[in-house]
Amino acid sequence: MSSSGSTKNQYLAAISVNIVTISYGAFCGWPSASFLELGSEDSPLETGPLSNQDQGWVASTICIGGLFGTILYAWLADKIGRRWSLLWTALPNLIGWIIIPYASTPTHLIIARFIGGVAGGGCFAVIPIYVAELASDSVRGILGTYLLVTCNGGVVLAFILGYFFDYITVSWIVSTLSFVFVGCFWFMPETPQYLAKQNRVEEAEQSLRYYRNIRLSPAKELSEDLKLELEKLKPSEKTDLDAKDADNAENENAVTWADFAEAKARKAFFIGLGLVTFNQLCGCFAMVNYTAVIFEQAGASLAPAVSAIIVGSIQLLGTYTSTLLVERLGRKILLLVSAVGIGLGQSAMGSYSYLKVLGYDVSSFGWVPIAGFSFMLLLAASGLLTLPFLVIAELLPPKIRNMANMILISVLYVISTATIKFMPLFTESLGMHGTVFMFASMSFSAALFIAIFVPETKGKTNEAILANL
C-alpha cells in the first residue's frame, strides 16, 4: 500500500493505546505473588493473614469491576469518542494501584481490584473498536492482537516484579504506566469513523490521512483505495443541516433493537456470543489459578513464583505467535487449531489425573500434566483466548458495533466470574479429572462451532465480511 502511505502511525497508535493494557495485565497477575505475602503470618494487613475466602473475593472482584467498566466506557465511547473514553481509563487504573500500598484490610484490596477492573473493562470494550476503526485491512489483524499481547505482557511483568519486590513496591512501579499511557496516547487523533458519524467530515479526513501517514495533498496523488475510503466517510455527511435535520440525523444514528434484528447483524452477534462464551468455558482462564496444584501434582519442585513466571511466559509466547500468524494463516484456522489443541492438552491432563485416581502407577509420566498444561496454554493464547476480540470487532456492523461489543464483553465477564468462583465446586464434586474433561468437551465443541459458523475475515472490509454472512 505504498501509494496510500505507510502504516507506521497505525502501529504507533496501537502500541500507545495498549500501554494501559499492560497495567491492567499486571492487575490480573498481581495476586499470584502478592497472596503469598498477604496470606503469610507476616502479612502487613492489620486484620492479619488474608484468608482463602478473602483471597477469592480479592481475585474475582476484578471481573465484577470489568463488567461495570465495560458498560460505562462503551457508553462513554459513543458520547465523548473513542479517544477520550480511553484516556479516562488511566484514572481508575491509577487509583486502583495507589490504594493497594495503603490497604490495611481485605476490603481495601477488594475496592482497589474493583476499580482496576473498571479500567480493564474499558480497555476490552473500547480498544478493539478503536483499532478496528483506524486500521487498514492489511494490518487490522496484527494490530488487533496487541490487546492480548500487552495484557499477557503485563501479567508476566507482575510475576517478575513480584519475585524481586514486595507487593507495595510493585504497585508503585506499575502505577507509573498510567502517566506513560497518557503521555503517549494524548497525541493520537480520534478515529475517522467516529468523527464522520458526528458529521465532522474535515476532521475525519485529517484523521484518516494521519493514520494512513499521508499529508494533505491533491486527491489525484492518492491511491484509488484511499480515495474510496475517503468517499465512504462523506456521503452521509451534511454540513449545512438545520436543527430539525440534525435531530433526524441523530435519531437515525441511534441504535435500536430493530438494528440487532436485521439478519446480518443478528448472525454477527450470534457468532460473537459463541466466541466469548467458549473463550471462558474452555476453562483455560480458570485453570491458570490452579497452576501450583498442577505443578505439585506432577512432582515439580519449582517455587510457586517461578511456576507463575513460566506459565505467564508461555501465554505471552502464544499471543506473540498469533501476532505473527494472524495475517498469514487467517483468523479461522488459528481459532480452529487453538480449540482442538486446547481439548487435546486437557484430555492428556484429565487422563493422567483419572489414572492416578484409579490407583495406577503413573510416576514415570509425571511430565504429562505439565506438558499438557503448557501445550493447552500455548494454543489457547495463540487463538481462542486472543482472537475473539478482534473477530468480533471485524464482524459487527458499524452502527451496532459499540453497543453489541459492550453486551458481549459484559457476558464474558459474567461467565468469567462464575467460572472462577465455581471452579472449587467442580473439582470437589467431579474431581480434577472430571473438571478437566468437562472443559475439554467444551473446547472440542468450540472447534465445531468455529468450523461451522465463524467466517474468515482476514484482509476483508467490513462490507465484504457482512456480505458473506
DSSP string for 51-94: PHHHHHHHHHHHHHHHHHHHHHHHHHHHHT-HHHHHHTTHHHHH
Distance CA 34, CA 295 (A): 19
Range 431-446 burial, b when 16+ CB lie within 10 A, else e: ebbbbbbbbbebbbbb
Q: How far lies 204's CA from each of 70, 243, 385, 398, in Å?
A: 26, 22, 33, 16
Strands annotated E in 230-384: none
- At residue 220 the predicted structure's pLDDT band, cuts being 50, 70 and 90, is very low
- 84 pLDDT exceeds 90? yes
- At residue 235 the predicted structure's pLDDT band, cuts being 50, 70 and 90, is very low
Q: What are phi and psi for residue 263, nearest 5 degrees? A: -55, -50
Q: What pLDDT shows up at residue 251?
A: 55
Taking Cα atoms as reference points, which of 296, 228, 301, 335 lies closest to residue 3? Answer: 228
Average of pLDDT values for 315-341? 90
- At residue 200 the predicted structure's pLDDT band, cuts being 50, 70 and 90, is confident
In the chain, the percentage of residues whose pLDDT exceeds 70 is: 87
- 369 pLDDT exceeds 50? yes
Q: What is the DSSP letter of 384?
A: T
Helix H or strand E segment including 114: helix 106-134
User: Residue ranges of the alpha helices (H) in 234-262?
Assistant: 243-253, 257-261
pLDDT, tens digit (0-9, with 9 covering 90-100), for 336-364: 999 999 999 999 989 988 888 888 888 78
Residue 147: all three cell numbers together: 490487546
- 142 pLDDT exceeds 60? yes
Residue in the structure block whose three cell numbers are 454472512: 469
25-29, 89-93, 121-125, 449-453, range with the lowest pLDDT = 25-29
- The domain limits of the chain are 7-185, 192-254, 256-469
Checking phi first, is residue 97 left (phi over 0); if not, alpha (psi -120 to 50) or beta?
Answer: alpha
210-214, 297-301, 457-461, range with the lowest pLDDT = 297-301
Average of pLDDT values for 374-392? 90
3-class secondary structure per residue, 168-224: HHHHHHHHHHHHHHHHHHCCCCCCHHHHHHCCCHHHHHHHHHHHCCCCCCCHHHCCH
Q: What pLDDT shows up at residue 402?
A: 83
In the chain, the percentage of residues whose pLDDT exceeds 90 is: 34
Q: Is the pLDDT higher at 139 or at 55?
A: 139
- 434 pLDDT exceeds 80? yes
Q: Give the N- to C-terminal CA distance of the chain in Å, as an integer.
A: 27
Taking Cα atoms as reference points, which of 380, 377, 403 lies closest to residue 392? Answer: 403
Q: What pLDDT shows up at residue 237?
A: 41
3-class SS of residue 382: coil
- Cβ-in-10-Å burial (0-12, 13-18, 19+) of 52 comes to exposed
Average of pLDDT values for 316-327? 87
- CATH architecture type of domain 256-469: Up-down Bundle (1.20)
User: Would you say domain 7-185 falls under CATH 3.40.30.10?
Assistant: no
Q: Under a CB-based contact definition with an 8 Å cutoff, are residues 17 and 144 in contact? A: no
Q: What pLDDT shows up at residue 90?
A: 95
- At residue 461 the predicted structure's pLDDT band, cuts being 50, 70 and 90, is confident
Distance CA 417, CA 435 (A): 17
- Contact partners, residue 379, CB within 8 Å, separation at least 6: 318, 337, 338, 341, 342, 345
Taking Cα atoms as reference points, which of 426, 449, 424, 453 lies closest to residue 437? Answer: 426
Q: What are phi and psi for residue 218, nearest 5 degrees? A: -55, 145
Q: What pLDDT shows up at residue 315?
A: 84
pLDDT, tens digit (0-9, with 9 covering 90-100), for 268-321: 999 999 999 999 999 888 787 666 666 665 565 667 677 778 888 888 888 888
Best-predicted range by mean pLDDT among 212-221, 297-306, 423-432? Answer: 423-432
- 231 pLDDT exceeds 80? no
Average of pLDDT values for 60-71? 88
- Contact partners, residue 221, CB within 8 Å, separation at least 6: none
- Cβ-in-10-Å burial (0-12, 13-18, 19+) of 362 comes to middle
Residue 342: all three cell numbers together: 486446547
- 10 pLDDT exceeds 90? yes
Q: What pLDDT shows up at residue 238?
A: 44
Average pLDDT, the chain: 84
- Contact partners, residue 97, CB within 8 Å, separation at least 6: 23, 27, 112, 116, 171, 172, 174, 175, 178
Distance CA 135, CA 266 (A): 25
Q: What is the DSSP letter of 50?
A: P
Is-same-fold flag (7-185; 256-469)?
yes
Distance CA 140, CA 114 (A): 31
Distance CA 278, CA 284 (A): 10
Q: What are phi and psi for residue 99, nearest 5 degrees? A: -65, -40
